[in-house]
Amino acid sequence: MNTRINAAITAVGGYVPDTVLNNAKLEKMVDTSDEWITSRTGIKERRILEAGKATSDMAAMAIKNLLNNTGVNPDEIEVLIIATSTPDHQLAPTAPLAAQKAGLKNAWGFDFNAACSGFLYALSVAASLLESGRHKKVLLVGADKMSAIVNYEDRNTCVLFGDGAGAVLLEPSKDAGAVLDTVYRSDGNGVQFLSIPAGGSAEGTTEQTLLEKRHYVEQDGRTVFKNAINGMTATSMEVLEKCNFTTEDIDWVVPHQANLRIIDVVGEKLGIAKEKIKVNIQRYGNTTAATLPLCLWDFQNDFKPGDKLLLTAFGAGFTWGSTCIIWGGLRNNNKK
Ligand code: COA
């Protein structure tokens, strides 16, 4: 008898701040244009969290949205994983704070940092906690307040990022729902092409680093662009093979939302029709660890139980990879 426990996504939630930073506003802040941003990235607007609020606030809002829509008792949540690159504090993880704000009295939790691949990597960790039989309800949140680490005088980066949070509940599967298989990679050489150089243990904050604005995101966009296309395409093909799927078998692709051109080229290389590829970058920009769960939240009504989803991401590190999941029935019947 097959006694394997599968982990399924049984609920999704999300939160984006009300404040919209559109391309017209950015035109007044840096030397850029709506035409440049739209044609090079696909982004029209992004959300910005209000002053005084932190990543834990957005994570808590996404969790509350999920719990309110499903009626799951917050006391039943055993584990909370927050994938983020923008923790509230350098010391003191964000997960306990978010758990407190969301009213999760019985959850232990931790932060998970793999930049834009954070949610994807952590999905495998969260699934393992269920597959082992050790836990029955695990919440995984991808949340990033990118506006806290972006230099709004640098047109190379400030047009790309936004703030947001998405949450999924994982439970032992009662139907076909499952996190099937993963192909993940990392390459530490990537740090020279995308990082926040100062403020960590490698280079502490000094007057000089602040003057040089080395505590903000810096990147070589072209190198990241090429590596993202190659990495997402290669791991997608590998994970499809591991799952014995062809691209024809895939119902939906949920890609990291960094640049519409990256998404389009990956789709073309994989030979997957555009209609199957989920895109909301035009509204939120790149919300780092939040892009995948925000897509699952936005498009949940399109996914049917039994659908095969291919999730793929690329981010700082470099970190990248792909996962195949089978969509199960949601607790709220896929009603947002
Ligand atoms: N507005 C107007 N011009 C801009 C600009 C902006 N916001 N940002 C850059 N430019 C300029 C550059 O200065 C450059 O000018 P130059 O030719 O005079 O030097 C020109 O546009 C082309 O720059 P380039 O970097 O070649 O553009 P690109 O087509 O590669 O697009 C990115 C730039 C950043 C949009 C693209 O490389 C990208 O998306 N990379 C991946 C970034 C990413 O996803 N990072 C997050 C991690 S997942």
Q: Are residues 155 and 278 in the same domain?
A: no
Residues 310 and 222 in one domain: yes
Which of 177, 135, 145, 129 shows the shortest CA–CA distance to 11?
177
Q: What rounded mean pLDDT belongs to the chain?
A: 96
Give me the number of domains the chain comprises. 2
Task: Give pLDDT tens digits for 91-142.
Answer: 999 999 999 999 999 999 999 999 999 999 999 999 999 999 999 999 999 9
Alpha-carbon gap, residue 78 to 73, rounded angstroms:
11
Looking at 113, 145, 175, the residue that finishes a domain is 175
Cβ atoms within 10 A of the Cβ of 148, count?
15
Ligand 1, atom 8, lies closest to the CA of 156
Residue closest to 162 by CA, chosen among 24, 45, 62: 45
What is the reported pLDDT for 329? 87
Q: Does the beta carbon of 215 sit less than 6 angstroms from any atom of ligand 1? A: no
Does 127 share its domain with 155? Answer: yes
Instruction: Please check whether residue 331 lies inside any domain of the structure.
Output: no
Ligand 1, atom 48, lies closest to the CA of 315
196 and 267, same domain (yes or no): yes
Q: Whose CA is nearest to atom 46 of ligand 1?
A: 258
Final residue before a domain boundary, out of 175, 204, 236: 175
Mean of pLDDT values over 3-24: 96
The yes-or-no answer on residue 151 being catalytic is no
Q: Which of 6, 23, 259, 286 is catalytic?
A: 286
Amino acid at 103: G
Q: Which two tokens stand for residue 109?
A: 């939790």
* 336 is a domain residue: no
In angstroms, the CA 9 to CA 332 distance is 12
Question: Is 215 noted as a catalytic residue in this protein?
Answer: no
* CATH number of the domain where residue 232 is located: 3.40.47.10
Catalytic position from the list 256, 295, 324, 332? 256
**Are 171 and 234 in a shared domain?**
no
Q: How far is CA 44 from CA 47, 167, 288, in A?
A: 11, 24, 17
Report the candidate in 289, 254, 332 with the shortest Cα–Cα distance to residue 114.
Answer: 289
SS3 (DSSP) at 38: helix
Task: Please choose, from the candidates 217, 156, 161, 230, the residue with its C-alpha nearest in 3D space to the C-alpha of residue 191.
Answer: 217
- Domain end among 159, 175, 191: 175
Q: How many CB atoms are located within 10 Å of the residue 7 CB?
A: 25
Q: Is residue 334 part of a domain?
A: no
Domain that holds residue 234: 179-326
Q: How many CA atoms lie within 13 A of 166 on its CB side?
A: 26
Distance 40 CA to ligand 1 centre (A): 7
Report whether residue 36 contacts ligand 1, using a CB cutoff of 6 Å: yes
Ligand 1 neighbourhood includes 74 CB (under 6 angstroms): no
Ligand 1 site, residue 152, Cβ cutoff 6 A? no
286 is catalytic: yes
**Virtual torsion, Cα 55, 57, 63, 65, nearest 10 deg:** -120
Residue 1, pLDDT above cutoff 60: no
- In a domain, residue 335? The reply is no
- Taking CA atoms only, the protein residue closest to ligand 1 atom 20 is 156
d(CA 120, CA 128): 13
Quick one: 140 and 193 in the same domain? no
- The response to whether residue 120 sits with its C-beta less than 6 Å from ligand 1 reads no
Judged against a pLDDT cut of 80, whether residue 273 lies above it is answered with yes
**Alpha carbon nearest to ligand 1 atom 37, residue:** 221
Is the C-beta atom of 32 inside 6 A of ligand 1?
Answer: yes
DSSP letter at 88 equals S
pLDDT band for position 65 (50/70/90)?
very high
Phi and psi dihedrals of 287, rounded to 5?
-100, 20
